[in-house]
Structure 1
Amino acid sequence: MSAPTQTLDERTLLDRVQAPAGEGREILDAATREVFGRAPVHTVADLDAAVAAARAAQPGWAALGHERRSALLHRAADAVEAQAEPLARLLSREQGKPLNGPNARFELGACATWLRTAADTPLEPEVLVDDETGHAELVYRPVGVVGAIGPWNWPLMIGIWQIAPSLRMGNTVVVKPSEHTPLSVLAMVAVLNDVLPDGVLTAVSGEREVGAGLAAHPDVDKIMFTGSTATGRKIIESSAGNLARLTLELGGNDAGIVLPDADPQAIAQDLFWGAFINTGQTCAALKRLYVHDSIHDDVVAALAEIAEATPMGRGLDEDSVLGPLQNAQQYDIVRRLVDDAKARGGRVVTGGEPAPELGELFYRTTIVTDVTDGVPLVDSEQFGPALPVIRYTDVDDAVASANRLDAGLGASVWSSDRDEARRVAARLEAGTVWINQHGGLHPMVPFGGVKGSGYGLEFGVEGLKSVAVPQVISG
């Protein structure tokens, strides 16, 4: 390891991690669809070597102790901050999210914050019994080697959510980035490894068989995965052979309920960004909105006004705050769901069509109303810039609608009466229920899903416990 030096430019950082000319797999700029880099294509043999190196490095890393590991995590955060701009530009090109707004630069800031929080969060032994009968306490030990399988929507931030607590607790980590966004993750890992000891953190960039191999690897003790519910189920099956521990943050179809006493103008901005952060490509984004009939039209109009005023464009354009869909498969899903909703009588208030003048994978920010439960745009996770707004008259019906799907990552309640909002929130089946906001995360507040949205907690003390093995010392 070596100390981080001066800030690199984007090309220098990219050249540190991409495959040599003529090798690897082409990676396209999400906005322009031009080739801008080549990702290494690692093999299962490369994965085996990475896991072996992690296994060999883990005892020494654990032996450093919490204080020394925490100091190194702070240095890692310094390194990320030093390279934040080239990392953000690389992320913007690969993922599509703009530099500004709650996007690429924001994501790099979150990476540093979560690294520092993981370093500074205390996890003290818990005294269970201390009396005339004896003494017993609960402590947490490293689990060993952690396999971190990341998504393409927030590849750096979610990567740090997996890496930072694992390292803090004395584990070593093997990272498998999404095939869609490997270069930005490889670059971030390279920056972190300017600080960390050899073998402690390794990234393996390969195709699906590498991810499957990591989930099933006999020398991996813990798997952390963020992605679709379907893939999560496969990981559960793959991990059964070695009984690897699991943290799974899976698909969501978050519902929001706007109560009749809410002020449409007061909540409109937060509603909009709850739904459209990262152009809707966020697991815990607001994906279906139930609005009381008495204020339905006012809420819809306020959302449409914001949508039409919010600039969409290429990520490296400093004026953009919404970008393209990251990949053609996701673009096709959004387009199909909106077209289907229109065919079923849904009314497009704004958007509802591609934006070809911006680029191949741009879809206009879309608000659709006059739809009901059962319409695929409501029942399926669209994961893009399209929000269905459903009218209701009875709050019990809205709660039933919110709970009817096999998804339970997040939900929200919007009201001028916080006590009433809390009463409704308590009835919703979701890992997190926000009041008058949606999707806001705090590094000390646990986050995780229920039902088909997965299990296990991340962040704060509970997040540290999830990447450790509990041990009772009694006597």
Structure 2
Amino acid sequence: MPETATTYSMVIDGKAVAAASSFPVSNPATGKIVGLAPNGTAADLDKAVTAAERAFPGWSASPDSERAAACVAIARKIGEHAEELAALVTQEQGKPLNGVGSRFEMGGVQAWAGYTASLSLPMQLLQDNNEGRVEMYRKPLGVVGSITPWNWPALIATWHILPAVRTGNTVVAKPSPYTPLSTLRMVELINEVLPPGVVNVVSCDDATNNLGGAMASHPGIRKIVFTGSCATGSKVMMSAAETMKRLTLEMGGNDAGIVLPDVDPEAIAEGLFWGAFINMGQTCAAMKRLYVHEDVHDAVCEALVEYTRKIPMGDGMDESSILGPVANKMQFDKVSRLVEDARGRGRVLLGGAPADGLFFNPTIIAGLTNGDALVDEEQFGPALPIIKYRDVEDAIAQANASENGLGGSVWSADIDRAREIARRMECGSVWINKHGMIQPNAPFGGVKKSGLGVEFGEEGLQQYTDIQVVFS
């Protein structure tokens, strides 16, 4: 381990706090140690929750305009350090600086923070007549626990933290052990513009210490916001039941795209590529399976393969790289297993094998069907199964034959027809002639086993509050 590896700290009550031990965070592109993260304990979590509880009365009573201004200040502060944070995200997560990479991610952080500042939840007057006056208020909950994944570490932390701050809650955040450094640093910066204790961050290796599980059952935490796998999200929900925590759970997607026979294959190839391979496919709302009508199947496959061949893959710190490695060995092994199984069931049109280290060649496999593992399981990596269909009704049924329902897409020259099909897809978001392009003013969340509640926009902001009705 190099002597130059930076040791990062937790932030509790506005102060840097060291843990009794630390764990290394490595660059998936090179294997080199990026930094040492604090391996926090249950006692550290208790201190963070206590600090957040102590800060809550003052922060929740602060004027709405002050909290809005704080979100603007956070966006500005992060903007001042965007290049530093982007480099940190690239080194610990692997995504390139360029393309839809870490600079793009930091731009999203600033955009979401700024937009969140513009939202508000004023009192609603439900009745005002001779029979009486009825007012409805949205009140902050208390301490919000944020548990984030490794795929978009800074952006998803922002999605969790900023709405909590905006609505007068306080926060304890816990990033993934694969990518804790950017969140630790970002919260350190946030604390330069917020009162102590409003936003705290703890980290752990999830092996010797499991602070995520402790947060889900902690009596001092009133709400958990979780982004991650369905299996872990289910455990969070069970652990939260005893204390009746409010929950927002954004979990697995296995999103389906449906290509209609009227498309121009070359015109949609770029959109299909980014829909499937954004962040090396390591995005909840990425397209994980593609149903293509038999009339255009071969042409769509050819156009998509040709476009994908041109995208350079390499170390994310290289300015020429557009795709990076798979973010960690756990995910690399899963993608490898699913692709190897699919090789024996379908036709490999591109890729189909690992490259060096944790790099995996972008893979497109045709000739698969529902029931094949690469179709049924969310691969969360750079491998796209393509399923040929004849009847659109069958394609809709196959797309909906999943326990997940996060996103979906329809690709067609007939926008009205595409909208009709979109309305029949069992998922929280549907895009037409694009996939996965979320935005801060549109609610985002899943149906079925893809989650509970929504994020973004006024609807997402409401989920950080309880309703109180005043009759007079």
TM-score scaled to structure 2, two decimals? 0.95
Q: Which residue of 1 aligns with 2:13?
A: none
The one-letter amino acid of 2:301's match is: V
The aligned runs of 1:375-414 (5 Å cut-off) are 375-414=372-411
Distance 2:324 2:187 in 1: 25
Secondary structure of the equivalent of 2:291?
strand
Distance 1:323 1:376 in 2: 24
The one-letter amino acid of 1:441's match is: I
Q: Which residue of 2 aligns with 1:464?
A: 461
Q: Which residue of 1 aligns with 2:265?
A: 264
The one-letter amino acid of 1:181's match is: T
Secondary structure of the equivalent of 1:57?
helix
Distance 2:344 2:322 in 1: 30
Q: Which residue of 2 aligns with 1:206?
A: 204
| Residue of 367, 391, 411 corresponding to 1:370 | 367
Offset at residue 127 of structure 1 (A)? 2.1
Q: Any conservation in 2 of the 1:226–1:248 contact (CA below 8 Å)?
A: yes
Distance 2:193 2:291 in 1: 48
Count of matched residue positions in the alignment of Structure 1 and Structure 2: 461
Distance 1:420 1:329 in 2: 41
Q: Give the stretch that moved more between structures: 404-413 or 200-209.
A: 200-209
| Residue of 163, 166, 190 corresponding to 2:164 | 166
Offset at residue 194 of structure 1 (A)? 1.1
Q: Give the stretch that moved more between structures: 148-157 or 132-141.
A: 132-141
Q: Any conservation in 1 of the 2:20–2:39 contact (CA below 8 Å)?
A: no
Q: Any conservation in 2 of the 1:367–1:389 contact (CA below 8 Å)?
A: yes
Offset at residue 23 of structure 1 (A)? 4.7
Offset at residue 21 of structure 1 (A)? 12
Distance 2:452 2:20 in 1: 42
Q: Which residue of 1 aligns with 2:354?
A: 354
Q: Which residue of 1 aligns with 2:450?
A: 453
Secondary structure of the equivalent of 2:68?
helix
The aligned runs of 1:247-286 (5 Å cut-off) are 247-286=248-287
Secondary structure of the equivalent of 1:426?
helix
Identical-pair percentage: 52
Secondary structure of the equivalent of 2:424?
coil
Secondary structure of the equivalent of 1:241?
coil
Q: Any conservation in 2 of the 1:149–1:175 contact (CA below 8 Å)?
A: yes
Q: Give the stretch that moved more between structures: 262-271 or 21-30.
A: 21-30
Secondary structure of the equivalent of 1:283?
coil
Secondary structure of the equivalent of 2:253?
coil
The aligned runs of 1:98-113 (5 Å cut-off) are 98-113=96-111
The aligned runs of 1:39-438 (5 Å cut-off) are 39-208=37-206, 209-344=210-345, 346-356=346-356, 360-438=357-435
Q: Give the stretch that moved more between structures: 189-198 or 130-139.
A: 130-139
Distance 2:4 2:107 in 1: 21
Distance 1:213 1:321 in 2: 38
Q: Any conservation in 2 of the 1:50–1:202 contact (CA below 8 Å)?
A: yes
Secondary structure of the equivalent of 2:158?
helix
Secondary structure of the equivalent of 1:140?
strand
Distance 2:90 2:34 in 1: 12
Secondary structure of the equivalent of 2:288?
strand
Offset at residue 12 of structure 1 (A)? 11
Answering whether residue 441 of structure 2 is matched by residue 440 of structure 1, we say: no
* Structure 1: tracts of 5 or more residues without a match: 1-10
Secondary structure of the equivalent of 2:219?
coil
Secondary structure of the equivalent of 1:100?
coil
Offset at residue 14 of structure 1 (A)? 5.2
Q: Any conservation in 2 of the 1:14–1:187 contact (CA below 8 Å)?
A: no
The one-letter amino acid of 1:464's match is: L
Secondary structure of the equivalent of 2:28?
coil
User: Structure 1 residues 20, 53: closer, same or farther in 2, change over 3 A?
Assistant: closer
Q: Any conservation in 1 of the 2:39–2:204 contact (CA below 8 Å)?
A: yes
Offset at residue 26 of structure 1 (A)? 1.0
Offset at residue 268 of structure 1 (A)? 1.0
Q: Which runs of 4+ in 1 moved over 6 A?
A: 18-22
User: How far does the alpha carbon of each residue in 1:158-183 deviate from its partner, in whole angstroms, 9 at most, with x for none?
Assistant: 11000000000000000010111111
Distance 2:196 2:365 in 1: 51
Q: Any conservation in 2 of the 1:24–1:41 contact (CA below 8 Å)?
A: yes
Q: Any conservation in 2 of the 1:65–1:170 contact (CA below 8 Å)?
A: no
Q: Any conservation in 2 of the 1:403–1:428 contact (CA below 8 Å)?
A: yes
* Structure 2: tracts of 5 or more residues without a match: 11-16
Distance 2:450 2:363 in 1: 25
Distance 1:12 1:207 in 2: 21
User: How far does the alpha carbon of each residue in 1:83-122 deviate from its partner, in whole angstroms, 9 at most, with x for none?
Assistant: 0001100110000000001110011111111111111113
Secondary structure of the equivalent of 1:387?
strand
Distance 1:288 1:88 in 2: 30
Offset at residue 128 of structure 1 (A)? 1.7
Distance 1:130 1:416 in 2: 50
Q: Which residue of 2 aligns with 1:6?
A: none
User: How far does the alpha carbon of each residue in 1:133-170 deviate from its partner, in whole angstroms, 9 at most, with x for none?
Assistant: 22212210101100000000001101100000000000
